[in-house]
Chains A and B, each alone.
Chain A
Amino acid sequence: MIDAYLLTLLVFSPLLGIIALLFVQREQANVLKTIGIVATLLPFVLSLVLFITFDFGEQGFQFVHQMPWIEFVIAEDLALDIHYELGADGLSVALILLTTIVTTLAALASLYIKQRLKEYFILFLILEIGMLGVFTAKNLLLFFIFFELTVIPLFFLIAIAGYIHREKAAISFLIYNGIGSAVMLIAFAVMFMYTGTVHIDALAEAFAHPDWSTAFKTGLFLALLFAFGVKLPIFPLHSWMLKVHVQAHPAVVMIHSGILLKLGAYGLIRLGLGIFPEQVAQLSFLIAILGVLNILYGAVLAFVQEDLKMVMAYSSVSHMGIVLLGIAALNDSGLQGAIFQTISHGLISALLFFIIGMIYERTQTSMIADLGGLAKSMPITSGVFLAAALANLGLPGMSGFISEFMSFLGLFGAYPWVAAVGVLGIILTAVYLLRAILNTTFGPAKEKWSELIDAKGFEVLPLAVLLGLIILIGVYPSILGDTIHGSVDYIVQSLTARTGG
């Protein structure tokens, strides 16, 4: 019985925290913080239950919770019949776990925040509902609602807790994502108008029919590519996320870079590949080129940035390119790589931004030139920072390697020449990351940083958990591979069936 309601419980469990927060006065900072953190534990525990009870041998959706929601007779031949339905497959489970883990750790990182805590934590928990909802939604309407439920709280979160130009960043975020959402809504509406359903599986079936004109489907897919491309982001739609990375509070950036960028990847895989595999196949070369462009463009720009946060922001651009590569490869290896990259980059960038937040908390700067020699006074933090950077540049034994390796391997199977250009990114990643990290932690210790305190108290937990997970996936990738295996197989099978190999 609980099975049917598990996902609903999971998705809406942060509500409990929101209600609790409403009854706390805004002056009681410690109570607010405690409730905020404890409230994120509930979805985490539920997601663990989901992970443990999930049957990874099966391909399709499990824990499906379905009930009638909107029933509306518009005309005799046209009835609006939309169900509330949540479901999870392996891909969802992996991303849900990522979400709950990173959210809990980001809530810990929120301890640095000093003002407007009540609004902050309420919005934070709404954001979590939105993210969990997107990963479980089984129809476009729910998907869209949850998707928007992430955009609006995030807008305020950026504006509430952040640095000097945070309002500008928030507005930039809203403009881009607003346009993206609008395009997505139009695409959804058109799909609904022509098929009469918003159910994702039903849409996939409907568009498998050969009667649709190719141009129509291509148009729809391009709209989706644009909408999710803003989120991912794909060059040249990335400039908003740079501002967000730099101006938002590190705790928010952990969520943003760790999970929200992945909504784009998830959308592309679930809706793009799920509903329009022919179009993905047809445009795979373009996607591969976009991916390589992302990788190289992000890498070259990351090399000349003066601000650690900017380096990591461009690094995100670069690493999201790998997701595109994996999708463009259209084979098991590439797709698996894309999903691995989604998860792995979520963990790594959350870790990196947590550390940058720690450094900023102590030094009030994140400019590379101002820092230097931090390894002297903060050996543990610097060590983890270096490890995170090495994971990010794809060191074997860390999760970044597995994803990079499988994505590129997949692309070598599909477009060897594009992949050969793309691997230059592997070198460039090493160049810019080492430049940033070594100039921060290595070198002569500066006088003013000699008294810094190393990671202590609650700060140890995110460092340990994230690094542990990164290494776990790197050493034993099957733990994630088995989780998503069914989903990947299913997508590739339907792909082969519909595009004829």
Chain B
Amino acid sequence: MIENAWLIPLFPLVAFILLIAFGRRLKESSAWLGILFTLGAFLLSVMTLFERLRLDHSASVVVDWLQIGDHLITMGYEITPLNALMLFIVSLVSLLVHIYSRGYMDGDDRISVFYAYLALFTFSMLGLVIAPNLLQVYIFWELVGVCSFLLVGFYFYKPEAKRAARKAFIMTRIGDVGLFVAMSLLFWQVGSFELAAIFTAVENNELSAGLITLTAILIFVAAIGKSGQFPLHTWLPDAMEGPTPVSALIHAATMVAAGVYLVAVMFPLFEASPAAMNTVAYVGGFTAIFAASIALVQNDIKRVLAYSTVSQLGYMMLALGAAGYVAGTFHLMTHAFFKALLFLAAGSVIHALHKQNIQEMGGLSARMKWTAALFFVGCLSIAGIPPFSGFFSKEEILLTVWQDGRAGLFIVAVFTAFLTAFYMFRLFFLVFSGESRSRDMNQVKESPSVMMFPMLILGILAVGSGFVHTHWFGTFLGDWLISGPASTYGAQAHSETWILILALVVSLLGIGLAYLMYAKRTWDHRALAERLPLAYRVLYNKYYVDEAYRYTFVSGLRGLGIFLNFFDRYVVEGVLRLIHGIMTGIGTVGAKIQNGQVQVYGITMVCGLVILIIGFIMAGGYLR
């Protein structure tokens, strides 16, 4: 199957074309068309994954795409362990979200458009994760961005959706430019876009250290944009304006993780530059704790999850920056499962309640047992309680960071783990436990089984997927991942019991604190907010980053534009007016000489001729 892996992205592409062409006629059944084709892609991905598990070399095929001078640019695919894993994750989550959306989007008259966009996204994402060269990465990188844009703006008639879509596109594009520049610079140094060629050049010391650092950081800028890292994180929470299945698929499990994937794919390049590794680690670490602190006080269920996503992605970056190739990738996988689960469960709540403010929820566990149970599983997993999957991946990250030797980052990571446990359980208790805080709770009922089924699958994965890489039974995943094509993937972490216990204790502390504040109400959280009004307000307003951008970049650009508009209208066009004025002036003078008498004109002409002839004679012939 591995030779035909290029078929995998084609399935959703065909679905997209069919849906665009015939979607209006298919109406509701377009959902099944989308699901069917995604299922095809998923089955192929599974087969590819199993085949790749047995192989010990990467499969790759390329075809010619474009000739630039002597350079032939190719397109193709490559199945490294990382790619095979990503194929599996993406097609699985995508399939589940396709199924889930059948219930969530039921009754929407643009459901065929929705499925078309989903299919296009799945195509782009699958294309991204099998790309063997930077150009192809860039192409699909942009395509997933535009799909995200389209899906965030799916409810196009809502002004917030419009703004969020635009913001998502532009913020990620700022990052994309980094990749574009890095790609161009590397092309002129290496002479190829192929990842393998770039790594070979790095290995053979053909590139200067400065160039490696520069390109690595530029590539990281792209990852910052896509993965919502500080300072380009603000689009991700706003992107929650899109339909919830989209948030689960794109803004939790797959596309935002593409930034992490990109750093992982380019790992040999990053590893060659300590400065770049430092940047990745510190940006990741800072984002992790920064976003977690914002998530503490948000009231929109999806926004809390969004900030949690930002924070977890920061965690993965931190792991990669600490040379934890396996840790970062592992957490990417487990996070994809449990965060998709959390979003789908949140979607289930929203679907039932039609509201998103957690202060107006509460007591839902009685009416939505399955959703509550699955959400609880997701919370336990993200908080890092054994034996849930998040525990293993988070422990792996902590081990890596500790063994990498930057104590500050380790403390940040541990503290973030505490905050994560706290805000996730704050969310859980506010939504599901206690008394209902809104009146119309009687109509609330559990979501249909077409929505529950995908959540159940994800729930099982959130529990079980951690066992593929543990220090108790064996580090299968890690061993397999580092058997990839590059020569080195950093060191594998080894187990240390005290870190394991520390992580567990910290998580339990967070859960306990949340329990006391939001479930048992021993301490009133409102009193705390009143005691620290400034801190509360800063956190609630997300550190005023949006406002800062609005008053600097947006206003700055507009101001510059208005200034240049005046410049254009009065200075540049002034040239035209000047010419026009001179012509008019000459014309006015000339008009006075004209009196309409042909003979006067004739005399004038003759006088002119005489003057010319005299001049000609005086000059003595041709003016040579």
Contact = CB atoms under 8 A, between A and B. Distances in A.
Q: Do A and B come from one complex?
A: yes
A485 B67 contact: yes
Nearest to B120: A397
A192 B328 CA distance: 69
A427 B580 contact: no
Contacts, number: 136
Contacts of B143: 395-397
Interface string B128-165: 00000001001110110010000001001111011001
B64 A478 contact: yes
A426 B170 CA distance: 10
Interface in B203-226: none
A172 B170 contact: no
A443 to B, nearest CB: 5
A382 to B, nearest CB: 8
Nearest to A420: B181
Given A239-B572, A442-B153, A300 B557 contact: yes
A381 to B, nearest CB: 14
Interface stretch (B281-289, B386-394, B517-525, B562-570): B562-570
Interface in A376-426: 376, 390, 395-397, 401-402, 405-406, 408-409, 412-413, 416, 419-420, 423-424, 426
Contacts of B509: none
Nearest to A382: B156
A26 to B, nearest CB: 34
A300 B64 CA distance: 38
Interface string B574-596: 01100110000000000000000
B66 A301 contact: no
A373 interface: yes
A438 B165 contact: yes
Given A416-B185, A419-B184, A420-B181, A478 B166 contact: no
Contact of A435 (B69, B166, B187, B188): B166
Contacts of B139: 396-397, 401
Interface string A274-310: 0000000000000000000000010011011100000
A236 interface: yes
| Chain A residues touching B, majority SS | helix
Interface string A420-440: 100110111011001100110
Contacts of A397: 139, 143
Contact of A481 (B66, B70, B165, B557): B66
A332 B162 contact: no
B156 A301 contact: no
Contacts of A401: 139, 142
A478 B576 contact: no
B572 A481 contact: no
Nearest to B159: A443
Contacts of B165: 438, 442
Contact of A373 (B157, B166, B562): B157
Interface string B162-204: 1001100110011011001100110110000000000000000
A331 B69 contact: yes
Contact of B156 (A179, A419, A443): A443
Given A332-B68, A397-B143, A300 B561 contact: yes
A315 interface: no
Interface in A314-340: 331-333, 336
A441 interface: yes
A236 B65 contact: no
B68 A423 contact: no
A397 B139 CA distance: 7
B213 to A, nearest CB: 15
A332 B184 contact: no
Nearest to A419: B184
B166 A438 contact: yes
Given A397-B143, A431-B557, A438-B153, A492 B69 contact: yes
B163 to A, nearest CB: 8
Given A175-B579, A304-B565, A423 B177 contact: yes
Interface in B371-393: none
A426 B565 contact: no
B527 interface: no
Given A412-B185, A431-B170, A441-B156, A303 B561 contact: yes
B65 A434 contact: no
Contacts of B156: 373, 375, 441-443
B534 interface: no
Contacts of B531: none
A240 interface: yes
Interface string A451-487: 0000000000000000000000000111001100100
Contacts of B25: none
A236 B68 contact: no
Interface string A197-238: 000000000000000000000000000000000000001101
Contacts of B181: 412, 419-420, 423
Nearest to B562: A304
A401 B183 CA distance: 14
A284 to B, nearest CB: 16
Contacts of B572: 235-236, 238-239
B187 A409 contact: yes
23 contacts: A235-B572, A236-B572, A236-B575, A300-B561, A303-B558, A303-B561, A333-B71, A336-B68, A373-B156, A395-B143, A396-B143, A424-B177, A426-B177, A426-B180, A434-B169, A438-B165, A442-B153, A442-B157, A443-B156, A444-B159, A477-B66, A481-B66, A482-B67
Given A301-B561, A438-B166, 18 more contacts: A172-B576, A239-B568, A300-B557, A300-B561, A390-B146, A396-B139, A396-B142, A408-B180, A413-B188, A423-B181, A426-B173, A434-B166, A434-B169, A438-B162, A443-B159, A444-B157, A485-B67, A489-B69
The 3 closest A-B pairs by CB, nearest first: A332-B69, A304-B561, A396-B139
Interface of A: 172, 175-176, 179, 235-236, 238-240, 297, 300-301, 303-305, 331-333, 336, 373, 375-376, 390, 395-397, 401-402, 405-406, 408-409, 412-413, 416, 419-420, 423-424, 426-428, 430-431, 434-435, 438-439, 441-445, 476-478, 481-482, 485, 489, 492
